Amino acid sequence: MSSASFSGNSHFKTIAQFLGNVRGWCALRYAKYMSYSLDLTLEELPTDKKAAYEQIEQLREELYAEELSDEDLRLNFKPLYDALLSKYPCICSPAGENSPWSDGPLINNFGSKHAIIAVTYSSVDEAVPFILQTCKKLGYTVYDGQEDVFHFPVGTQPQVKAPWWKFW
Protein backbone atom coordinates (compact mmCIF):
# COMPACT_ATOMS: atom_id res chain seq x y z
CA MET A 1 0.00 0.00 0.00
CA SER A 2 1.43 3.34 -0.94
CA SER A 3 1.77 6.09 1.61
CA ALA A 4 -0.57 8.29 -0.46
CA SER A 5 -3.43 5.81 -0.31
CA PHE A 6 -2.64 5.05 3.33
CA SER A 7 -2.81 8.66 4.41
CA GLY A 8 -5.92 9.30 2.35
CA ASN A 9 -7.99 6.67 4.11
CA SER A 10 -9.13 7.89 7.51
CA HIS A 11 -9.81 4.36 8.78
CA PHE A 12 -6.24 3.32 8.10
CA LYS A 13 -4.96 6.53 9.64
CA THR A 14 -6.98 5.87 12.81
CA ILE A 15 -5.67 2.30 12.97
CA ALA A 16 -2.10 3.51 12.48
CA GLN A 17 -2.50 6.06 15.27
CA PHE A 18 -3.92 3.34 17.50
CA LEU A 19 -1.08 0.95 16.70
CA GLY A 20 1.43 3.70 17.29
CA ASN A 21 0.12 4.01 20.82
CA VAL A 22 -0.23 0.30 21.53
CA ARG A 23 2.89 0.06 23.70
CA GLY A 24 1.83 2.82 26.06
CA TRP A 25 -1.84 2.01 25.76
CA CYS A 26 -1.37 -1.63 26.72
CA ALA A 27 1.06 -0.84 29.49
CA LEU A 28 -1.06 1.90 30.99
CA ARG A 29 -4.56 0.59 30.54
CA TYR A 30 -4.51 -3.17 30.20
CA ALA A 31 -1.37 -4.38 31.97
CA LYS A 32 -3.62 -5.70 34.72
CA TYR A 33 -4.77 -8.47 32.40
CA MET A 34 -1.21 -9.66 31.86
CA SER A 35 0.17 -9.17 35.36
CA TYR A 36 -0.54 -7.31 38.57
CA SER A 37 1.35 -4.03 38.35
CA LEU A 38 2.16 -1.42 40.95
CA ASP A 39 3.40 2.13 40.43
CA LEU A 40 6.01 3.29 42.95
CA THR A 41 7.25 6.82 43.52
CA LEU A 42 8.97 9.09 46.02
CA GLU A 43 7.30 12.11 44.42
CA GLU A 44 4.78 14.00 46.50
CA LEU A 45 1.36 13.51 44.95
CA PRO A 46 -1.57 15.94 44.97
CA THR A 47 -4.27 15.34 47.56
CA ASP A 48 -6.99 15.16 44.91
CA LYS A 49 -7.26 11.57 43.63
CA LYS A 50 -7.84 12.56 40.01
CA ALA A 51 -4.87 14.93 40.04
CA ALA A 52 -2.73 12.27 41.76
CA TYR A 53 -3.64 9.74 39.09
CA GLU A 54 -2.81 12.25 36.35
CA GLN A 55 0.60 12.78 37.95
CA ILE A 56 1.13 8.99 38.05
CA GLU A 57 0.35 8.86 34.33
CA GLN A 58 2.87 11.67 33.72
CA LEU A 59 5.51 9.84 35.76
CA ARG A 60 4.84 6.70 33.71
CA GLU A 61 5.39 8.61 30.47
CA GLU A 62 8.64 10.04 31.84
CA LEU A 63 9.75 6.55 32.88
CA TYR A 64 9.08 5.18 29.38
CA ALA A 65 11.01 8.07 27.84
CA GLU A 66 14.05 7.68 30.12
CA GLU A 67 17.11 6.05 28.68
CA LEU A 68 18.94 4.95 31.78
CA SER A 69 22.36 3.63 31.00
CA ASP A 70 23.78 4.87 34.28
CA GLU A 71 22.53 2.99 37.33
CA ASP A 72 23.24 6.08 39.45
CA LEU A 73 20.00 7.53 38.10
CA ARG A 74 18.15 4.75 39.93
CA LEU A 75 19.70 5.46 43.33
CA ASN A 76 16.37 6.73 44.70
CA PHE A 77 15.08 3.17 44.42
CA LYS A 78 18.21 1.27 45.52
CA PRO A 79 17.00 0.55 49.11
CA LEU A 80 13.67 -0.72 47.79
CA TYR A 81 15.25 -2.72 44.99
CA ASP A 82 17.63 -4.41 47.45
CA ALA A 83 14.80 -5.18 49.90
CA LEU A 84 12.63 -6.71 47.18
CA LEU A 85 15.49 -8.82 45.84
CA SER A 86 16.38 -10.04 49.32
CA LYS A 87 13.03 -11.82 49.48
CA TYR A 88 12.34 -12.48 45.79
CA PRO A 89 15.39 -12.78 43.50
CA CYS A 90 15.16 -11.49 39.95
CA ILE A 91 13.70 -14.00 37.51
CA CYS A 92 16.83 -13.58 35.36
CA SER A 93 18.98 -15.20 38.03
CA PRO A 94 19.10 -18.95 38.69
CA ALA A 95 17.71 -18.35 42.22
CA GLY A 96 14.71 -16.48 40.79
CA GLU A 97 13.00 -19.40 39.12
CA ASN A 98 10.04 -19.24 41.53
CA SER A 99 10.02 -15.47 42.06
CA PRO A 100 6.75 -13.60 41.61
CA TRP A 101 8.11 -11.07 39.10
CA SER A 102 6.43 -11.19 35.72
CA ASP A 103 9.38 -9.71 33.84
CA GLY A 104 13.06 -9.09 34.21
CA PRO A 105 15.62 -7.97 34.77
CA LEU A 106 13.79 -6.25 37.57
CA ILE A 107 16.16 -3.26 37.59
CA ASN A 108 14.82 -2.27 34.16
CA ASN A 109 11.47 -1.40 35.76
CA PHE A 110 13.02 1.37 37.84
CA GLY A 111 13.66 4.90 36.66
CA SER A 112 14.98 8.01 38.34
CA LYS A 113 11.60 9.13 39.79
CA HIS A 114 9.18 6.27 39.16
CA ALA A 115 9.04 2.50 38.95
CA ILE A 116 6.47 0.01 37.75
CA ILE A 117 6.83 -3.51 39.04
CA ALA A 118 4.63 -6.41 38.08
CA VAL A 119 3.98 -9.80 39.63
CA THR A 120 2.25 -12.83 38.23
CA TYR A 121 -1.35 -13.28 39.28
CA SER A 122 -0.54 -16.58 40.95
CA SER A 123 1.81 -14.70 43.32
CA VAL A 124 -0.36 -11.69 44.17
CA ASP A 125 -1.60 -12.92 47.56
CA GLU A 126 1.93 -13.54 48.80
CA ALA A 127 3.99 -10.86 47.07
CA VAL A 128 1.81 -7.73 47.00
CA PRO A 129 1.40 -7.42 50.80
CA PHE A 130 5.19 -7.71 51.18
CA ILE A 131 5.79 -5.13 48.45
CA LEU A 132 3.27 -2.70 49.98
CA GLN A 133 4.68 -3.11 53.49
CA THR A 134 8.25 -2.64 52.27
CA CYS A 135 7.36 0.43 50.20
CA LYS A 136 5.44 2.07 53.04
CA LYS A 137 8.29 1.43 55.46
CA LEU A 138 10.90 2.90 53.09
CA GLY A 139 8.85 6.01 52.23
CA TYR A 140 7.48 5.17 48.77
CA THR A 141 3.95 5.89 47.61
CA VAL A 142 2.31 3.01 45.75
CA TYR A 143 -0.53 3.22 43.30
CA ASP A 144 -2.37 -0.08 42.87
CA GLY A 145 -4.20 0.32 39.57
CA GLN A 146 -6.10 -2.93 39.92
CA GLU A 147 -7.72 -1.78 43.15
CA ASP A 148 -7.54 1.95 42.27
CA VAL A 149 -5.96 2.69 45.65
CA PHE A 150 -3.02 4.83 46.72
CA HIS A 151 -0.88 3.47 49.57
CA PHE A 152 1.13 6.17 51.33
CA PRO A 153 4.32 5.81 53.39
CA VAL A 154 4.15 5.10 57.11
CA GLY A 155 3.66 8.32 59.07
CA THR A 156 2.10 10.26 56.22
CA GLN A 157 -1.57 10.81 55.84
CA PRO A 158 -2.54 12.88 52.84
CA GLN A 159 -5.11 15.53 53.56
CA VAL A 160 -7.95 14.79 51.19
CA LYS A 161 -9.87 17.95 50.67
CA ALA A 162 -13.58 17.57 51.22
CA PRO A 163 -15.99 19.92 49.48
CA TRP A 164 -16.69 23.08 51.51
CA TRP A 165 -20.29 22.02 52.10
CA LYS A 166 -19.37 18.74 53.86
CA PHE A 167 -19.01 19.12 57.59
CA TRP A 168 -18.36 15.49 58.53
Q: Is residue 93 part of a domain?
A: yes
Question: pLDDT by residue (tens digit) across 56-104?
Answer: 999 999 998 887 665 666 788 999 999 999 999 999 999 988 999 999 8
**C-alpha closest to that of 98 among 131, 78, 135, 127:** 127
Q: Structural domain of residue 97, as residue ranges?
A: 32-151
Single-letter code of the amino acid located at 15: I
- Peptide bond preceding 105 in cis form (omega within 30 of 0): yes
Q: State mean pLDDT over 2-17.
A: 42
Q: Is residue 129 part of a domain?
A: yes
Question: pLDDT by residue (tens digit) across 120-138?
Answer: 999 999 999 999 999 999 9
Q: For the chain, how many structural domains are there in total?
A: 1
Query: pTM (2 decimals)?
Result: 0.72
First to last CA, the chain: 63
Q: Is residue 12 part of a domain?
A: no
- Peptide bond preceding 100 in cis form (omega within 30 of 0): no
